[in-house]
Structure 1
Amino acid sequence: MTTVGFLYPGHAAEDDYPRMERILGDGVRLLVAHTDGEDLHAVDALLDLGAHHRLVDGFERLRPHGPQAVVWACTSGSFVFGWDGAAAQVDKLATATGLPASSTSFAFVRAAHALGVRKVAVAASYPPEVAERFVGFLADGGIEVISLTSAGIVTAAEVGRLPDEDVVRLAAGNDHPDAEALLIPDTAMRTVGLLPRLESELGKPVLTANQVTVWEGLRLVGDTRSTSRAGALFRTGTGENGSR
């Protein structure tokens, strides 16, 4: 049995994880523990949201269930620290838990590389000053953002209430013809059930936050299962294991 733990801030789209568990089938458990902090897409609030003590406190709720790896399931609460800061964040988490660890921001970079993608469009829910930090993070990972849209949504709770049709419009309306993939970087947005539709409409890979977070968790433990129901990323398998 593959068991991966996810540290998820607050409450918004955490039901994407049991949904992914059902898609992946038998032999996998995706455990979610909620962390606390202010629900605000602002740099200072996000730096606090990703503080080490919050992640460790959340992991203590996962520990009794025996996860084999742990992922900080928050894009903005990791990339806001910059590449080196996000690396330190997951290194400290790995040391504190004794497990392979990563975060959604690194998951996006690894997923793009796994698909051979170097030029992307980003359809972000965040305000521009936050979204621009994601662009910088991707650049440090060798990914060029050729188109960025910022929806300017202030809280994760608001993102979690978006109807499916709004998510589809956000994706379809903010692609770029030269982009090799579209990235939607907010774990507060429900996207897992929409991946086949999104990729069909855009005609290219779509990488979304909860999708890549699960993929990264499986990769950390060497679980290479694939499925045709979670986008092009999961048709590739999850590659080799290892931290960050």
Structure 2
Amino acid sequence: MSTVAILYPGHSAEDEFTLLEGLIPDARFPVIHTWEGSTDHDVDALLRLGARDLLEPPAKEAAQAGADSVMWACTSGSFVYGWDGCHEQAGWVADASGAPASSTSLAFAHAVKHLGLSRVSVAATYPEDVAAHFVEFLRRGGITVTALSTYDVPSGEDAGLLGPDWVLETARAADLTGAEALLIPDTALHTMAVLPQLEEALGLPVLTANQVTAWQGLRLAGHPAAARGLGTLLEAH
């Protein structure tokens, strides 16, 4: 059994990790909350969410829970730190937990490269100024964003209320010209249940925040990170 501790801010779509425990063999995803306030999609607020003093205590809690790996499960709360800062952030978590650690943003970059891709379209819940940080983050990772669509969802809590129809409509509306995959960031967004429909509708791999977070955490824990019905990423191990 592989235990991937999920460091998660606020309350929105953390139930996706409970769902994954029933879909991925020999995997546990205990959620440890890092923040109990609002998770606003604002650069200054997101920098605060990913601050060292907020991440180290739950990372130590993950160590006490016997985590095999630890994931900072917040796309925007990691990519706002930039490519170098994001790696430093993962280092804080690893040092505090004593386990391999990463974040959702780093998981996106690794997942794209794992699939042998380099050109992606992004459909983001965030305001444009926040989403621009993700585009730059991916660029630093050698990934070209061919198109970006943004939706000005004010916070993670608001994103957590969006249903599968919204996710499917957003994916279908994305500009996929020249793209090899669609990325849908935001761990506050429920996407796991519609991954097969997303890929069937688009004819491309679709990477979503909680999907890549679980995948990266499992890989760090030494798990094969393979499962059916969770998209190309977990079927292409």
Q: Does the pair score TM above 0.5?
A: yes
Deviation at 1:64, TM superposition (A): 3.1
**Counterparts of 1:158 and 1:182, CA distance in 2:** 22
Which residue is 2:98 aligned to? 98
Give the counterpart letter for 2:84 in structure 1: D
Which residue is 2:159 aligned to? 159
Deviation at 1:224, TM superposition (A): 1.1
- 1:31-50 paired onto structure 2 within 5 Å: 31-36=30-35, 37-50=37-50
Which residue is 1:80 aligned to? 80
- 1:66-215 paired onto structure 2 within 5 Å: 66-215=66-215
* Structure 2 residue 2 is the aligned partner of structure 1 residue 2: yes
* Secondary structure of residue in 1 paired with 2:91: helix
Write the deviation string for residues 91-148 of structure 1: whole angstroms up to 9, x where unpaired: 1211121111100000000000011111000000000000000000000001100100
Give the counterpart letter for 1:221 in structure 2: A
The answer as to whether partners of 1:38 and 1:49 remain within 8 angstroms in 2 is no
**Counterparts of 1:58 and 1:29, CA distance in 2:** 17
Which residue is 1:53 aligned to? 53
Which residue is 1:241 aligned to? none
Deviation at 1:21, TM superposition (A): 1.4
**Counterparts of 1:177 and 1:20, CA distance in 2:** 32
The answer as to whether partners of 1:205 and 1:231 remain within 8 angstroms in 2 is yes
* Secondary structure of residue in 2 paired with 1:23: coil
Deviation at 1:61, TM superposition (A): 3.6
The answer as to whether partners of 2:72 and 2:104 remain within 8 angstroms in 1 is yes
* Secondary structure of residue in 2 paired with 1:193: helix
| TM-score normalized by the length of structure 1 | 0.94
* Secondary structure of residue in 1 paired with 2:19: helix
Aligned CA RMSD, in angstroms, stands at 1.1
Which residue is 1:240 aligned to? none
**Counterparts of 1:213 and 1:15, CA distance in 2:** 14
Deviation at 1:3, TM superposition (A): 0.7
The answer as to whether partners of 1:109 and 1:141 remain within 8 angstroms in 2 is yes
